[in-house]
Structure 1
Amino acid sequence: MNSPGTEARHLDGVRILDLFAGPGGLDVAAHFLGYKSIGIEWDRNACETRYAAGLPTIHADVSVMREIRFDEIPKSVDVLAGGPPCQSFSVAGNGAGRRALDEVETFVHRLVGGEDEARIDEELCDLSLTDPRTALVLEPLRWLIKAIETEGRDPYKVIVLEQVPAVLPLWEVYAKVLRSGEGRLNGVKYEADCWELKTEQFGVPQTRTRAVLVARLPELGVVEPLEATHLPFDLHRGKRKAAQADTLPTDSAVPGANHRWISMAEALDAASTLKDSPVDVSRFRTEGKTGFFVVSNYGSGGDPKKRGRRMSSEPAFTVTGKISRNKVYKSFQEYEAGRSDRFTIPESGVLQTFPHNFPWSGNDQAQQVGNAVPPRLGMHVLGRALRGTAPSDEELGDANTWPNVPRVTTDELRRLGCGDRSQCPPDSHKITGSRRQPAP
């Protein structure tokens, strides 16, 4: 990080530190709630998206930042947030993290208990041989301990963590430890709780389940569970044949406090009507109505014919980094003829509840979209964690459009985040073949 004047301007008033920040799902949520954040992200492509979006970022490894660059984090930061890489814990991954979950839990107690960190690091290295991402789920705890043990730093007032549902038992261990204040927590206790949250119940037009932990210092009050705003989608509804997909029934909103989940068609239609929107669903319209069905990239037992299907009048499947491989058909006739379409990056982002004009940049944009926290879910979680309330309708409405970011701001943030690249992750700026990186 360099240019003190520029750095001060961009980092002034930063409250939230987003570990494993990705393209900015939590940071986008924080922005629309009126909070300023800074993210740490090792993937150069995600950093390019963040720079283009005007999000303060440090291009670095989270562990390296904690170990030797901790003083670069603004002292105004009082909220620790993050979603450690989840692939090793995910059902879609090889399951190394799930098999090691019990062992990972023991490291929580050992870290807090004050065991020699060099020995712990050595054992974590052995644990990570199968999948190096597994041990990263311990980083938020290590950052908390670092803040408590560093002179001139205050303990974080709020902690927000999210992961795949398989990590919920580990979050429960985290919560118990945070409530205790034992060992290296030096008597610092938190009110803490964790839950499984279904994204469609918070207005996200996809089915996705996340394990979320929220912890707050006692003076901020008890952590209350989040209140769902929408009804759950019935994943076990009767199986529909592809031939039925062009009927596209429309449901009305459920009266009362809870509304029906939001469908793909509703989300994409709404985004397409916004000014200068890159979302154009006219290719899916028949007689003025948007209609299509999606065939998932994931097969069942390797048989493509058994792959899941969702109609446009339903929420999307979980948006993953392979969303661009899902096939979209306007009608059964096109399905029979093998004429498929794909979701564009802006459309995929909208299904994640990113603003329609969010400036996706760099390479591997589908992976960036799939790795992100849905900002709308993030607004509900951060709203509850930081101020004890859900986001207002006005805040949610504003979250549909991202503000224009001048090129000079993007360039300044890239210099702040990458500098001369000497402290960026090794080989992250390497140019290979046609995959040329943006100029510094």
Structure 2
Amino acid sequence: MASSDAKSSFLAKPHILDLFAGPGGLDVAARMLEVPSLGIEWDKDACETRYKAGLDTWHGDVSAVRRHRFEELPKELNVLAGGPPCQTYSVAGSGAGRKALDKVEELVHALVEGAGEGEIDDRLKELGGDPRTALVLEPLRYAIKALRSPNRERRPFDVIVLEQVPAVKALWDVYKDALESGLPDGAGGKARYRVAEVKTLHTEAYGVPQTRRRAILIARLAVHGTPSLPAPTHHTYKPLNPTQGGPDDQLLPAEGADGALDSWVSMGKIFEATGHWPLDSGGPFEVRSNYGSGGDPKKRGVRTDRQPSFTVTGKVSRNVVLPRNGNEKDRRNLKIKEAGILQTFPPDYPWSGGDQSQQVGNAVPPLFGMHVLAAALALPLPPEEKLREKWSGLEVGSAKYEALRKEGCGVPDGCGPDCPEPEAQSVSSTASKPKSKSRPRTGASAKRSEK
């Protein structure tokens, strides 16, 4: 961070620990703010994208890192950020997490009351169901672990930033109460935080050319004062006919409702700005969603270049783009680069590894992340055009790529002993090397965005 920017924040040297970091949405945002970050990510494909993008990464299971490697984390980390896998909470998922919210709430209270890690692990086993549900507790467990660290150089996280699908807002409210009442330090003391109003934000209200909603929590240690949520810069999108779009005069951004806000950003505007128009002809286009609408799976939602995109999900590459006149012979699937642009990643972001569609859909939109982090850290926002500048990716085999991979995986050309084994992961196991229990993918291959 430039020295002038550093003085504008209450933290001289903010340094972010990004749990469930995915392919790098929040880390890209941090880089735009000139704030260093370290991401922990389970999915090897997302890690490959991160290595190619030059992002500091640990290829690891967030739960296992907390149990076995916490003291190895850099001591200068003072900002905790996390977007736990949301598939079980999402309306698009099974909903197991929503059904378990009351029991997860009980565990939040138990942690604040001083319950030990073993007790929490045992109660999680009793909870049963989808083990990813328990991952929403990890940010709180990390915050408490920092307080109880035997290393005197380590201190509480100054800032905590959490994001999830709207269904988890009720749990973030419980987090808010817990943080404000104080987290136990294990020696009879408590670290109290001040928390902004927990709210569900619309990403298009921050210039993202996509309708997407996220429940946001921002907390600071009480000594740093009460934070605020980022102020919207654009109108939210309120189409008269959200299923099929309607005639062109209904697709224009609202005018005059609030002179301080810009109009929401359309797909056409962002593609024009990045020079990556989806059609060779350069003409108007429409995008047909992979998802049905109105309860009819055969009735695909449609938006045109004059509207924001639907929520970019892990199935975004199944969306179809074609001329607005409906000429079917020119139809094709949306490309990964195009989906990344709709998420506000730099146009040349080096998507790598497998399941890139899932990686893109799971990511925090970097532009939205910039607004959230800037509000959390009291930093000025850089021009959003920075996100459209050339991204310096790394060539496989280059010295920096190998160094990042060695740091993240323990070896420069593969996965080391601390990397997760996809068929041998256990959220609640207390064994030092879990080998028998399995769990579904987390991180980039499991998080599902709220529609």
Q: Give the CA deviation at 1:24.
A: 0.7
Pair 1:346 & 2:337 matched: yes
Percent identity among equivalent residues? 50
- Matches of 1:166 and 1:318, distance apart in 2: 16
SS at 1:48 equivalent: helix
**After alignment, is 301-310 or 35-44 more displaced?**
301-310
2:230 to 195, 217, 226: 226
SS at 1:17 equivalent: strand
Q: Give the CA deviation at 1:304.
A: 4.1
Q: Deviations over 1:132-177 (max 9, x none)?
A: 2100000000000100000221000000000001111111111111
For 1:325, the aligned partner's letter is R
- Matches of 1:109 and 1:169, distance apart in 2: 14
2:282 to 279, 282, 285: 285
Long gaps (5+) in structure 2 = 1-12, 425-451
For 1:168, the aligned partner's letter is K
What is the TM-score with the length of structure 2 in the denominator? 0.83
Q: Give the CA deviation at 1:74.
A: 0.5
In the alignment, what sits opposite 1:391?
381
Cα distance change on mapping 1:248 and 1:358 into 2, 3 Å: farther
Pair 1:211 & 2:228 matched: no
For 1:70, the aligned partner's letter is F
Cα distance change on mapping 1:266 and 1:412 into 2, 3 Å: same
Residues 359-378 of structure 1 aligned to structure 2 (within 5 Å): 359-378=350-369
In the alignment, what sits opposite 1:173?
174
Cα distance change on mapping 1:189 and 1:64 into 2, 3 Å: same
Would you say the 8 A contact 1:245–1:331 is kept in 2? no
For 1:330, the aligned partner's letter is P
Q: Deviations over 1:61-109 (max 9, x none)?
A: 0011111101221001000001000111001001001111111111000
In the alignment, what sits opposite 1:197?
201
Residues 266-345 of structure 1 aligned to structure 2 (within 5 Å): 266-272=269-275, 279-283=276-280, 285-286=282-283, 291-300=284-293, 303-335=296-328, 340-345=331-336
In the alignment, what sits opposite 1:68?
68
For 1:140, the aligned partner's letter is P
What is the TM-score with the length of structure 1 in the denominator? 0.85
Q: Deviations over 1:167-219 (max 9, x none)?
A: 11111111111111154473211111221110000000000000010001123
- Matches of 2:130 and 2:193, distance apart in 1: 31
- Matches of 1:69 and 1:122, distance apart in 2: 21
Cα distance change on mapping 1:428 and 1:383 into 2, 3 Å: farther
Count of residue correspondences:
399
- Matches of 1:47 and 1:182, distance apart in 2: 32
Cα distance change on mapping 1:221 and 1:315 into 2, 3 Å: same
Q: Give the CA deviation at 1:280.
A: 4.6
- Matches of 2:406 and 2:35, distance apart in 1: 23
As a proportion of its length, which structure holds more helix?
1
Higher relative contact order (CA 8 A, sep 6+): 2
In the alignment, what sits opposite 1:97?
97
- Matches of 1:350 and 1:250, distance apart in 2: 21
For 1:425, the aligned partner's letter is P
Q: Give the CA deviation at 1:284.
A: 5.2
Pair 1:238 & 2:224 matched: no
For 1:357, the aligned partner's letter is D
Q: Deviations over 1:377-434 (max 9, x none)?
A: 10001001012x55133xx2212124314432112101110114111001589xxxxx
In the alignment, what sits opposite 1:135?
134
1:261 to 260, 264, 273: 264
Q: Give the CA deviation at 1:226.
A: 1.8
Would you say the 8 A contact 2:209–2:265 is kept in 1? yes
In the alignment, what sits opposite 2:144?
145
For 2:208, the aligned partner's letter is V
SS at 2:115 equivalent: coil
Cα distance change on mapping 1:342 and 1:71 into 2, 3 Å: same
For 2:164, the aligned partner's letter is Q
In the alignment, what sits opposite 1:3?
none
Long gaps (5+) in structure 1 = 1-12, 273-278, 430-440
For 1:156, the aligned partner's letter is F
